[in-house]
A and B are shown apart, each in its own frame.
Chain A
Amino acid sequence: MKTKATLAGLMLALACSLPFPTSASGDGFNDAVKTIEQFYHVKHQSIPFLARAGMKAARTAAKVRGGDWKRLAEAGSVRMVYFEDQTFDSHGQIALFKASLQRVLGSEWSALTQTLAPKNEEQCHIFVRDAGNKFHVLVITIERHEATVVQATVTPNVLADLLKDPEGMGKSITDEATTRDP
Protein backbone atom coordinates (compact mmCIF):
# COMPACT_ATOMS: atom_id res chain seq x y z
CA MET A 1 0.00 0.00 0.00
CA LYS A 2 2.83 2.32 0.99
CA THR A 3 4.58 1.62 -2.33
CA LYS A 4 1.41 2.40 -4.30
CA ALA A 5 0.93 5.66 -2.44
CA THR A 6 4.55 6.64 -3.05
CA LEU A 7 4.21 5.81 -6.74
CA ALA A 8 0.97 7.82 -7.03
CA GLY A 9 2.62 10.74 -5.23
CA LEU A 10 5.58 10.62 -7.59
CA MET A 11 3.33 10.58 -10.65
CA LEU A 12 1.28 13.50 -9.32
CA ALA A 13 4.44 15.50 -8.63
CA LEU A 14 5.69 14.73 -12.14
CA ALA A 15 2.37 15.76 -13.69
CA CYS A 16 2.31 19.00 -11.72
CA SER A 17 5.84 19.86 -12.78
CA LEU A 18 5.08 19.57 -16.50
CA PRO A 19 5.22 23.06 -18.02
CA PHE A 20 2.01 22.98 -20.07
CA PRO A 21 -0.27 26.00 -19.88
CA THR A 22 -3.35 24.79 -18.07
CA SER A 23 -5.33 27.89 -18.98
CA ALA A 24 -4.79 27.75 -22.76
CA SER A 25 -8.06 27.38 -24.63
CA GLY A 26 -6.50 26.46 -27.96
CA ASP A 27 -7.70 29.70 -29.50
CA GLY A 28 -4.53 31.77 -29.69
CA PHE A 29 -6.43 35.04 -29.98
CA ASN A 30 -8.40 34.55 -26.77
CA ASP A 31 -5.37 33.09 -25.01
CA ALA A 32 -3.29 36.15 -25.87
CA VAL A 33 -6.03 38.51 -24.63
CA LYS A 34 -6.37 36.55 -21.39
CA THR A 35 -2.59 36.54 -20.87
CA ILE A 36 -2.46 40.33 -21.24
CA GLU A 37 -5.35 40.75 -18.81
CA GLN A 38 -3.82 38.45 -16.22
CA PHE A 39 -0.29 39.82 -16.46
CA TYR A 40 -1.14 43.52 -16.54
CA HIS A 41 -4.42 43.42 -14.57
CA VAL A 42 -6.28 45.20 -17.36
CA LYS A 43 -9.56 44.54 -19.16
CA HIS A 44 -10.15 44.59 -22.88
CA GLN A 45 -12.89 46.63 -24.49
CA SER A 46 -15.26 45.48 -27.13
CA ILE A 47 -15.57 48.32 -29.57
CA PRO A 48 -18.13 48.17 -32.35
CA PHE A 49 -16.44 48.03 -35.74
CA LEU A 50 -17.84 51.35 -36.94
CA ALA A 51 -16.59 53.07 -33.83
CA ARG A 52 -13.10 51.70 -34.11
CA ALA A 53 -12.89 52.13 -37.85
CA GLY A 54 -12.31 55.83 -37.51
CA MET A 55 -9.93 55.41 -34.62
CA LYS A 56 -6.50 57.00 -34.67
CA ALA A 57 -4.80 55.16 -37.51
CA ALA A 58 -5.78 57.38 -40.42
CA ARG A 59 -2.66 59.45 -39.87
CA THR A 60 -0.34 56.45 -39.98
CA ALA A 61 -2.10 54.46 -42.67
CA ALA A 62 -0.83 56.49 -45.58
CA LYS A 63 2.71 56.15 -44.29
CA VAL A 64 2.73 52.38 -43.98
CA ARG A 65 0.91 51.80 -47.22
CA GLY A 66 3.55 53.84 -49.01
CA GLY A 67 1.45 54.58 -52.06
CA ASP A 68 -1.22 52.39 -53.55
CA TRP A 69 -3.64 50.97 -51.06
CA LYS A 70 -3.34 47.25 -50.79
CA ARG A 71 -5.41 44.97 -48.61
CA LEU A 72 -3.27 42.76 -46.41
CA ALA A 73 -5.84 40.70 -44.55
CA GLU A 74 -8.38 38.49 -46.26
CA ALA A 75 -11.84 40.06 -46.22
CA GLY A 76 -13.74 39.37 -43.04
CA SER A 77 -10.86 37.59 -41.39
CA VAL A 78 -9.88 40.24 -38.87
CA ARG A 79 -10.49 39.76 -35.16
CA MET A 80 -9.51 42.54 -32.85
CA VAL A 81 -9.70 43.73 -29.27
CA TYR A 82 -8.52 47.01 -27.89
CA PHE A 83 -7.28 48.13 -24.50
CA GLU A 84 -7.58 51.89 -24.02
CA ASP A 85 -6.65 54.29 -21.20
CA GLN A 86 -5.19 51.57 -19.01
CA THR A 87 -1.74 51.18 -17.53
CA PHE A 88 0.66 48.58 -18.87
CA ASP A 89 3.53 48.31 -16.43
CA SER A 90 5.63 45.17 -16.51
CA HIS A 91 7.56 46.23 -13.37
CA GLY A 92 10.88 45.30 -14.96
CA GLN A 93 9.64 41.86 -15.96
CA ILE A 94 8.89 42.37 -19.63
CA ALA A 95 10.83 39.20 -20.49
CA LEU A 96 8.47 37.26 -18.24
CA PHE A 97 5.48 38.51 -20.21
CA LYS A 98 7.18 37.48 -23.46
CA ALA A 99 7.78 34.02 -22.04
CA SER A 100 4.15 33.80 -20.82
CA LEU A 101 2.87 34.57 -24.30
CA GLN A 102 5.12 31.98 -25.85
CA ARG A 103 4.05 29.38 -23.32
CA VAL A 104 0.33 30.00 -23.71
CA LEU A 105 0.41 30.06 -27.51
CA GLY A 106 2.27 26.79 -27.40
CA SER A 107 3.54 24.94 -30.40
CA GLU A 108 0.55 25.77 -32.62
CA TRP A 109 1.75 29.34 -33.17
CA SER A 110 5.31 30.25 -34.13
CA ALA A 111 6.77 33.44 -32.73
CA LEU A 112 7.97 35.39 -35.74
CA THR A 113 9.06 38.73 -34.37
CA GLN A 114 9.06 40.13 -30.87
CA THR A 115 10.28 43.64 -30.15
CA LEU A 116 10.47 45.05 -26.64
CA ALA A 117 11.32 48.50 -25.32
CA PRO A 118 10.80 48.24 -21.56
CA LYS A 119 11.52 51.89 -20.77
CA ASN A 120 8.45 53.00 -22.69
CA GLU A 121 6.62 49.72 -22.10
CA GLU A 122 6.37 49.25 -25.86
CA GLN A 123 6.11 45.77 -27.30
CA CYS A 124 5.07 44.10 -30.50
CA HIS A 125 4.69 40.34 -30.77
CA ILE A 126 3.87 38.64 -34.06
CA PHE A 127 2.89 34.98 -34.18
CA VAL A 128 2.06 32.92 -37.26
CA ARG A 129 0.31 29.60 -37.80
CA ASP A 130 -0.84 27.57 -40.79
CA ALA A 131 -4.43 28.02 -41.93
CA GLY A 132 -4.76 25.60 -44.81
CA ASN A 133 -3.13 27.24 -47.80
CA LYS A 134 -3.07 30.59 -45.97
CA PHE A 135 -1.65 31.84 -42.69
CA HIS A 136 -3.14 33.27 -39.53
CA VAL A 137 -1.12 36.18 -38.21
CA LEU A 138 -1.57 37.29 -34.60
CA VAL A 139 -0.24 40.74 -33.74
CA ILE A 140 -0.05 41.93 -30.15
CA THR A 141 0.93 45.57 -29.73
CA ILE A 142 1.32 47.08 -26.27
CA GLU A 143 2.19 50.64 -25.30
CA ARG A 144 2.16 52.28 -21.88
CA HIS A 145 -1.55 53.15 -21.95
CA GLU A 146 -3.06 51.12 -24.77
CA ALA A 147 -2.84 47.79 -26.50
CA THR A 148 -4.35 45.95 -29.44
CA VAL A 149 -4.61 42.29 -30.31
CA VAL A 150 -5.31 41.60 -33.97
CA GLN A 151 -5.69 38.28 -35.74
CA ALA A 152 -5.90 38.23 -39.52
CA THR A 153 -5.71 35.66 -42.28
CA VAL A 154 -3.20 36.45 -45.01
CA THR A 155 -2.17 34.72 -48.22
CA PRO A 156 1.39 33.41 -48.57
CA ASN A 157 2.30 36.14 -51.05
CA VAL A 158 1.18 38.86 -48.63
CA LEU A 159 3.13 37.11 -45.89
CA ALA A 160 6.18 37.00 -48.19
CA ASP A 161 5.93 40.76 -48.64
CA LEU A 162 5.54 41.30 -44.94
CA LEU A 163 8.48 39.06 -44.08
CA LYS A 164 10.84 41.41 -45.87
CA ASP A 165 10.29 43.75 -42.96
CA PRO A 166 9.12 41.66 -40.02
CA GLU A 167 9.31 44.61 -37.63
CA GLY A 168 7.08 46.76 -39.85
CA MET A 169 4.69 43.86 -40.41
CA GLY A 170 2.86 44.16 -37.07
CA LYS A 171 2.28 47.85 -37.61
CA SER A 172 0.94 47.31 -41.12
CA ILE A 173 -1.58 44.69 -40.00
CA THR A 174 -2.66 46.58 -36.89
CA ASP A 175 -3.06 49.79 -38.84
CA GLU A 176 -5.13 48.05 -41.47
CA ALA A 177 -7.38 46.55 -38.79
CA THR A 178 -7.96 49.95 -37.22
CA THR A 179 -8.42 51.95 -40.40
CA ARG A 180 -11.56 52.59 -42.34
CA ASP A 181 -11.53 51.16 -45.85
CA PRO A 182 -11.08 53.84 -48.53
Chain B
Amino acid sequence: MKILFQTLSKIGPIILLLLLGAATTVSAQNPKLELDQLDALANRASDTVDVKLDEHLIQTTSKFFSGKDPDEVEIRELLKKLKGIYVKSFSFEKENQYSPAELEPVLSQLRGNGWSKIVGVTSKREGENVDVYVMQLGDQISGLTVVCLDPKEITVVNVVGPINLDKLSELEGSFGVPDLDIARPKKKDKEN
Protein backbone atom coordinates (compact mmCIF):
# COMPACT_ATOMS: atom_id res chain seq x y z
CA MET B 1 0.00 0.00 0.00
CA LYS B 2 2.89 2.34 0.92
CA ILE B 3 4.52 1.72 -2.46
CA LEU B 4 1.22 2.45 -4.20
CA PHE B 5 0.91 5.80 -2.42
CA GLN B 6 4.53 6.68 -3.17
CA THR B 7 4.07 5.87 -6.85
CA LEU B 8 0.79 7.77 -7.02
CA SER B 9 2.27 10.82 -5.32
CA LYS B 10 5.07 10.85 -7.90
CA ILE B 11 3.09 10.30 -11.10
CA GLY B 12 -0.24 11.79 -9.96
CA PRO B 13 0.63 15.44 -10.69
CA ILE B 14 2.03 14.47 -14.11
CA ILE B 15 -1.16 12.59 -15.06
CA LEU B 16 -3.28 15.52 -13.81
CA LEU B 17 -1.26 17.99 -15.91
CA LEU B 18 -1.58 15.76 -18.99
CA LEU B 19 -5.36 15.47 -18.52
CA LEU B 20 -5.73 19.22 -18.00
CA GLY B 21 -3.62 19.88 -21.07
CA ALA B 22 -5.71 17.53 -23.18
CA ALA B 23 -8.95 19.09 -21.93
CA THR B 24 -7.67 22.59 -22.71
CA THR B 25 -6.66 21.58 -26.23
CA VAL B 26 -10.05 20.03 -26.91
CA SER B 27 -12.01 23.04 -25.63
CA ALA B 28 -9.64 25.45 -27.38
CA GLN B 29 -10.82 24.38 -30.83
CA ASN B 30 -14.39 23.45 -30.04
CA PRO B 31 -16.95 25.48 -32.01
CA LYS B 32 -19.65 24.45 -29.51
CA LEU B 33 -19.63 27.00 -26.72
CA GLU B 34 -20.39 26.25 -23.10
CA LEU B 35 -23.43 28.51 -22.59
CA ASP B 36 -24.98 27.01 -19.46
CA GLN B 37 -22.83 29.29 -17.33
CA LEU B 38 -25.29 32.07 -18.20
CA ASP B 39 -28.20 30.21 -16.62
CA ALA B 40 -28.06 32.12 -13.33
CA LEU B 41 -29.38 35.15 -15.27
CA ALA B 42 -32.69 33.33 -15.67
CA ASN B 43 -33.69 34.16 -12.09
CA ARG B 44 -33.61 37.89 -12.90
CA ALA B 45 -34.72 37.84 -16.51
CA SER B 46 -38.36 38.41 -17.37
CA ASP B 47 -38.10 35.87 -20.19
CA THR B 48 -35.53 33.21 -20.94
CA VAL B 49 -35.31 31.03 -24.01
CA ASP B 50 -32.85 28.15 -24.21
CA VAL B 51 -32.76 26.04 -27.38
CA LYS B 52 -30.46 23.10 -28.01
CA LEU B 53 -30.60 21.21 -31.29
CA ASP B 54 -27.80 18.68 -31.43
CA GLU B 55 -26.35 16.95 -34.49
CA HIS B 56 -28.32 13.74 -34.04
CA LEU B 57 -31.63 15.58 -33.89
CA ILE B 58 -30.78 17.82 -36.83
CA GLN B 59 -29.58 14.97 -39.04
CA THR B 60 -32.49 12.66 -38.19
CA THR B 61 -35.11 15.27 -38.95
CA SER B 62 -33.49 17.25 -41.79
CA LYS B 63 -34.37 14.60 -44.38
CA PHE B 64 -38.05 15.15 -43.67
CA PHE B 65 -38.03 18.68 -44.99
CA SER B 66 -40.08 18.97 -48.14
CA GLY B 67 -38.31 18.62 -51.45
CA LYS B 68 -40.99 20.71 -53.18
CA ASP B 69 -40.69 24.09 -51.50
CA PRO B 70 -37.43 25.76 -52.69
CA ASP B 71 -36.97 27.47 -49.32
CA GLU B 72 -37.28 24.16 -47.51
CA VAL B 73 -34.84 22.52 -49.91
CA GLU B 74 -32.32 25.24 -49.15
CA ILE B 75 -32.84 24.83 -45.41
CA ARG B 76 -32.56 21.05 -45.70
CA GLU B 77 -29.24 21.34 -47.52
CA LEU B 78 -27.99 23.76 -44.89
CA LEU B 79 -29.16 21.61 -41.98
CA LYS B 80 -27.52 18.50 -43.43
CA LYS B 81 -24.10 20.01 -42.73
CA LEU B 82 -24.82 21.41 -39.29
CA LYS B 83 -23.75 19.79 -36.04
CA GLY B 84 -25.68 21.94 -33.62
CA ILE B 85 -27.79 25.04 -33.08
CA TYR B 86 -27.69 26.51 -29.58
CA VAL B 87 -29.55 29.65 -28.54
CA LYS B 88 -29.81 31.44 -25.22
CA SER B 89 -31.80 34.60 -24.85
CA PHE B 90 -32.58 36.65 -21.74
CA SER B 91 -34.96 39.63 -21.69
CA PHE B 92 -35.08 41.98 -18.73
CA GLU B 93 -37.82 44.35 -17.60
CA LYS B 94 -35.42 47.19 -16.80
CA GLU B 95 -32.07 48.31 -18.16
CA ASN B 96 -28.81 47.28 -16.49
CA GLN B 97 -30.19 44.23 -14.75
CA TYR B 98 -27.11 42.33 -15.82
CA SER B 99 -23.45 43.20 -15.64
CA PRO B 100 -20.86 42.65 -18.38
CA ALA B 101 -18.95 40.43 -15.95
CA GLU B 102 -21.79 37.93 -16.07
CA LEU B 103 -21.16 37.39 -19.78
CA GLU B 104 -17.46 36.87 -19.29
CA PRO B 105 -17.64 33.03 -19.11
CA VAL B 106 -18.96 33.03 -22.68
CA LEU B 107 -17.01 35.98 -24.09
CA SER B 108 -13.75 34.53 -22.79
CA GLN B 109 -14.34 31.42 -24.91
CA LEU B 110 -14.55 33.65 -27.98
CA ARG B 111 -11.20 35.32 -27.33
CA GLY B 112 -8.69 33.35 -29.34
CA ASN B 113 -9.44 29.63 -29.15
CA GLY B 114 -9.79 29.63 -32.93
CA TRP B 115 -12.53 32.27 -33.01
CA SER B 116 -12.19 35.53 -34.92
CA LYS B 117 -14.56 38.47 -34.92
CA ILE B 118 -16.10 39.68 -38.18
CA VAL B 119 -15.44 43.39 -38.45
CA GLY B 120 -18.15 45.81 -39.49
CA VAL B 121 -21.23 43.91 -38.41
CA THR B 122 -23.84 46.12 -36.77
CA SER B 123 -27.37 45.81 -35.53
CA LYS B 124 -30.33 47.39 -37.26
CA ARG B 125 -31.91 47.88 -33.83
CA GLU B 126 -31.16 51.08 -31.96
CA GLY B 127 -29.03 50.67 -28.87
CA GLU B 128 -28.10 47.07 -29.61
CA ASN B 129 -24.55 45.84 -30.12
CA VAL B 130 -23.92 42.81 -32.26
CA ASP B 131 -20.70 40.87 -32.47
CA VAL B 132 -20.28 37.96 -34.86
CA TYR B 133 -17.49 35.43 -34.48
CA VAL B 134 -16.44 32.65 -36.81
CA MET B 135 -14.20 29.66 -36.26
CA GLN B 136 -12.38 28.36 -39.30
CA LEU B 137 -10.64 25.08 -39.89
CA GLY B 138 -8.54 25.60 -43.02
CA ASP B 139 -10.78 27.43 -45.46
CA GLN B 140 -13.98 25.96 -43.99
CA ILE B 141 -16.05 27.63 -41.31
CA SER B 142 -16.65 25.22 -38.43
CA GLY B 143 -18.74 27.49 -36.23
CA LEU B 144 -20.47 30.83 -36.01
CA THR B 145 -21.53 32.74 -32.93
CA VAL B 146 -23.65 35.86 -32.69
CA VAL B 147 -23.73 37.85 -29.46
CA CYS B 148 -26.43 40.55 -29.32
CA LEU B 149 -26.33 42.85 -26.33
CA ASP B 150 -29.02 45.37 -25.56
CA PRO B 151 -29.49 47.15 -22.20
CA LYS B 152 -32.55 44.96 -21.69
CA GLU B 153 -31.66 41.83 -23.64
CA ILE B 154 -28.91 39.29 -24.17
CA THR B 155 -28.98 36.83 -27.07
CA VAL B 156 -26.29 34.31 -27.91
CA VAL B 157 -26.63 32.11 -30.99
CA ASN B 158 -24.00 29.42 -31.48
CA VAL B 159 -24.18 27.36 -34.66
CA VAL B 160 -21.75 24.47 -35.09
CA GLY B 161 -20.92 23.62 -38.68
CA PRO B 162 -20.25 25.35 -41.99
CA ILE B 163 -22.50 28.39 -41.98
CA ASN B 164 -22.07 32.06 -42.76
CA LEU B 165 -24.15 35.12 -41.93
CA ASP B 166 -26.25 34.92 -45.09
CA LYS B 167 -27.13 31.31 -44.44
CA LEU B 168 -27.85 32.06 -40.80
CA SER B 169 -30.50 34.51 -41.93
CA GLU B 170 -32.32 31.58 -43.58
CA LEU B 171 -32.72 30.02 -40.14
CA GLU B 172 -33.94 33.21 -38.45
CA GLY B 173 -37.45 32.81 -37.11
CA SER B 174 -37.24 29.01 -36.98
CA PHE B 175 -35.26 26.31 -35.17
CA GLY B 176 -35.17 28.61 -32.17
CA VAL B 177 -33.01 31.18 -33.95
CA PRO B 178 -34.56 34.61 -33.29
CA ASP B 179 -34.73 37.44 -35.80
CA LEU B 180 -31.32 38.99 -35.37
CA ASP B 181 -31.67 42.08 -37.61
CA ILE B 182 -27.99 42.11 -38.49
CA ALA B 183 -26.60 44.61 -40.97
CA ARG B 184 -23.87 42.87 -42.96
CA PRO B 185 -20.47 44.48 -43.46
CA LYS B 186 -20.26 46.39 -46.74
CA LYS B 187 -17.12 44.58 -47.84
CA LYS B 188 -17.96 41.00 -48.78
CA ASP B 189 -16.52 38.68 -46.19
CA LYS B 190 -14.64 35.72 -47.42
CA GLU B 191 -16.44 33.00 -45.50
CA ASN B 192 -17.97 30.19 -47.56
Point out residues on A near B: beta carbons under 8 Å.
3-4, 7, 92-95, 98-99, 110-119, 128, 130, 135, 156-157, 159-161, 163-167
Q: Which A residues are CB-close (under 8 A) to B2?
A: 3
Q: Which A residues are CB-close (under 8 A) to B64?
A: 156-157, 159-161
Residues B44-67 near A (CB distance < 8 A): 45-54, 56-57, 60-65
* A99 CB contact (under 8 Å) in B39, B62, B176: B39
Q: A166-B176, A167-B176 are in contact. Are A112 and B57 (CB under 8 A)?
A: yes
Tell me whether B51 and A113 are in contact (CB under 8 A).
yes
Complex: how many Å from CA A3 to CA B4?
11
Q: A4-B1, A165-B174, A166-B51 are in contact. Are A128 and B45 (CB under 8 A)?
A: no
Q: In the complex, how many residues of chain B place their beta carbon closer than 8 angstroms to a beta carbon of chain A?
A: 30
Q: A156-B64, A160-B64, A167-B176 are in contact. Are A111 and B52 (CB under 8 A)?
A: yes
Tell me whether B42 and A94 are in contact (CB under 8 A).
yes
Interface centre among B39, B42, B46, B52 (most CB of A within 10 A): B42
Complex: how many Å from CA A114 to CA B88?
10
Could you tell me the distance in whole angstroms from the C-beta of B139 to the nearest C-beta in chain A?
Answer: 30
Q: Which A residues are CB-close (under 8 A) to B5?
A: 3
Tell me whether B48 and A160 are in contact (CB under 8 A).
no
Tell me whether B51 and A95 are in contact (CB under 8 A).
no
Could you tell me the distance in whole angstroms from the C-beta of A111 to the nearest C-beta in chain B?
Answer: 6
Q: Which A residues are CB-close (under 8 A) to B43?
A: 92-95, 118
CB-nearest residue of chain A to B58:
A163
22 CB contacts below 8 A, A to B, read A3-B2, A95-B40, A95-B43, A98-B42, A110-B54, A111-B52, A113-B51, A113-B176, A114-B48, A115-B48, A116-B42, A116-B45, A116-B47, A118-B45, A128-B57, A135-B60, A156-B63, A159-B57, A159-B61, A163-B175, A164-B174, A166-B176
Could you tell me the distance in whole angstroms from the C-beta of A14 to the nearest C-beta in chain B?
Answer: 14
Could you tell me the distance in whole angstroms from the C-beta of A87 to the nearest C-beta in chain B?
Answer: 18
| Cβ-closest 10 pairs across A and B | A160-B61, A160-B64, A157-B64, A95-B42, A116-B48, A114-B50, A164-B174, A166-B176, A95-B43, A113-B51
Q: A160-B65, A167-B176 are in contact. Are A119 and B46 (CB under 8 A)?
A: yes
Tell me whether B53 and A111 are in contact (CB under 8 A).
no
Complex: how many Å from CA A166 to CA B50?
10
Tell me whether A164 and B50 are in contact (CB under 8 A).
no
A110-B57, A159-B60, A160-B61 provided; 12 other pairs, C-beta below 8 A? A92-B43, A98-B42, A112-B57, A113-B50, A113-B176, A114-B50, A115-B49, A116-B47, A119-B93, A163-B61, A165-B174, A166-B51
Q: Which A residues are CB-close (under 8 A) to B42?
A: 94-95, 98, 116, 118
Q: Which A residues are CB-close (under 8 A) to B46?
A: 117-119
Complex: how many Å from CA A166 to CA B51?
8
Complex: how many Å from CA A181 to CA B43?
38
Q: A159-B61, A163-B175 are in contact. Are A98 and B49 (CB under 8 A)?
A: no
